Structure 1
């Protein structure tokens, strides 16, 4: 069945990848009507998330964010398909790294780098960075259940030379690369909600006390990697600007979990600036109110403790 679904869907994705952007966004507007107005994909989750983190906003204000988010979601999905056929010239024009010199300076100093980013704006096109740097690029990802689509996603994301590695194998692969004295960059999206039984640290995120992922920080400390936050701004339909911010020059000198918390603070800033570009369909706050007693000293949003 997995193969059948892939055979049916892949030709459509390939066709989209060959279309001009104007046509792609015309299609996206149609997909928006289907996804949001007819199917109502995860609409309840989105509304609950927005009501939770933006109680100060009116219902009409949150509804506007919701509609903008679904428009962006449709655009981003089609942009991912377009990656199959996008040219290097188009990519450089549409996904601009505004301060790549920050990254290159770390490389020139022989530093290994951990790029940490949230599900915000566009994370699919960040792989184009690999054409501008000299380090070996790895990206940690969660495999898709359909093995054929999983291979497709890996092919798309490795278009510029990035090697995708599964979460459970990341520590060994990074350690092996260090053993070979290989200059590396590792990318990870780190704003998901961790499994409750594996949560090691809780912190406020958008004023709600939740468990947070700390794996990126632990990798930085154990392998002497510089944690760098990638902030992505959507400046127009299909146009993005990405900038680097170093979270810690010497990660092993930073108190445990403070790098992870710094990442969450940067993510909060981006969300508050333009909330429609965050991935609101995730059940990011599903474990609120379940924090161990030692963490409950941190003030949670009223009604959620």
Structure 2
């Protein structure tokens, strides 16, 4: 059944990837109409999240943000499909890295890095960094249930030379990499909601106390990897700019219970969300554990 579904859907995805940009974004607008106005995909969750985070905003303001978010979301996910066909040069033109020289400096020092990312702007096009450095980019992702679509997503995300590993195998593979020669940079989206039994750190995110994912920072401390945040801003439809923001260049010196790197990451992300909330992925239930009992052995900040 998985294969049948894949064979039915893949030709449609291939055609979408071949569309000229004007038709491509026209199709995205068409998809937005059905997703937002007809099916109302996760509209209740999005509305609840926005009202929770922005209690001071009026219903009209919430609706305006919600609508703009859905327009951006449709663009972003279709842009991932467009990655199947886009050239290296066009990708670099549409996703510009403003301070790529920072990574070149790290290359000279032969230092590996972990890049904390977020469900903001365009995290799907960030793999363009791989064709601009000598680092082997390694993307961490959550495996998809349909094995054929999982292979497709892996292929798309590895389109520019990145290696893709699952969250389940990430710790093992990153640790093994550090025993080899070569330059590595690891990208992982770090604003997910951790499982409650793994929630070791609770802090405010957009003014709400929730458990926070700290896996990337823990690995950075253990393996002494430089930690950076990839700050992505949307310039206009189909165009983004990214900046590498240093978070910590000597994480091994930090104490085990020190979560200041994670806090710094969250504060930068919060400022982006506050400034342009429509570019955050409001469909995921980031605050679902806000009323849960905090374990006694957890760190609360």
Q: Aligning the two structures, in what range does the TM-score lie when normalised by the shorter sequence?
A: over 0.9
Q: d(CA) in 2 for partners of 1:219 and 1:291?
A: 26
Distance change in 2, residues 1:293/1:168 (3 Å): closer
User: 8 Å contact 1:209–1:291 — kept in the other structure?
Assistant: no
User: 1:297 Cα shift?
Assistant: 7.0
**Matched residue, 1:282:** 284
Question: What is the DSSP-based 3-state SS (H/G/I as helix, E as strand, rest coil) of the residue aligned with 1:235?
Answer: strand
Question: What is the DSSP-based 3-state SS (H/G/I as helix, E as strand, rest coil) of the residue aligned with 2:188?
Answer: strand
**Matched residue, 2:212:** 212
Q: d(CA) in 2 for partners of 1:179 and 1:249?
A: 20
Q: d(CA) in 2 for partners of 1:297 and 1:174?
A: 28
User: 8 Å contact 1:95–1:239 — kept in the other structure?
Assistant: yes
Q: Is 1:52 aligned to 2:43, yes or no?
A: no
**Matched residue, 1:9:** 9
Q: d(CA) in 2 for partners of 1:17 and 1:231?
A: 26
User: 1:166 Cα shift?
Assistant: 1.1
Alignment of 1:7-156 (within 5 A): 7-156=7-156
The worse-fitting range, judged by mean Cα deviation, of 35-44 and 55-64 is: 55-64
The alignment's TM-score, normalised by the length of structure 2, stands at: 0.96
User: 1:196 Cα shift?
Assistant: 0.8
Q: d(CA) in 1 for partners of 2:299 and 2:57?
A: 26
Question: What is the DSSP-based 3-state SS (H/G/I as helix, E as strand, rest coil) of the residue aligned with 1:84?
Answer: coil
- Alpha-carbon RMSD: 1.3
User: 1:104 Cα shift?
Assistant: 1.6
The alignment's TM-score, normalised by the length of structure 1, stands at: 0.95
Q: d(CA) in 1 for partners of 2:273 and 2:128?
A: 24
Q: d(CA) in 1 for partners of 2:83 and 2:299?
A: 44
Q: d(CA) in 2 for partners of 1:28 and 1:173?
A: 37
Q: d(CA) in 2 for partners of 1:270 and 1:30?
A: 28
Aligned length: 298
**Matched residue, 1:270:** 272
User: 1:240 Cα shift?
Assistant: 0.2
Question: What is the DSSP-based 3-state SS (H/G/I as helix, E as strand, rest coil) of the residue aligned with 2:230?
Answer: strand
Segments of 4+ moved more than 4 angstroms: 293-298
User: 8 Å contact 2:94–2:238 — kept in the other structure?
Assistant: yes
Alignment of 1:238-277 (within 5 A): 238-255=238-255, 256-277=258-279
Q: d(CA) in 1 for partners of 2:50 and 2:111?
A: 39
Distance change in 2, residues 1:183/1:297 (3 Å): closer
Q: Deviations over 1:229-282 (max 9, x none)?
A: 000000010000000001012112334211111111111111011100000000
Structure 2: 5+ residue runs without aligned partners?
none
The worse-fitting range, judged by mean Cα deviation, of 204-213 and 182-191 is: 182-191
Structure 1: 5+ residue runs without aligned partners?
299-305
The worse-fitting range, judged by mean Cα deviation, of 55-64 and 202-211 is: 55-64
User: 1:287 Cα shift?
Assistant: 0.1
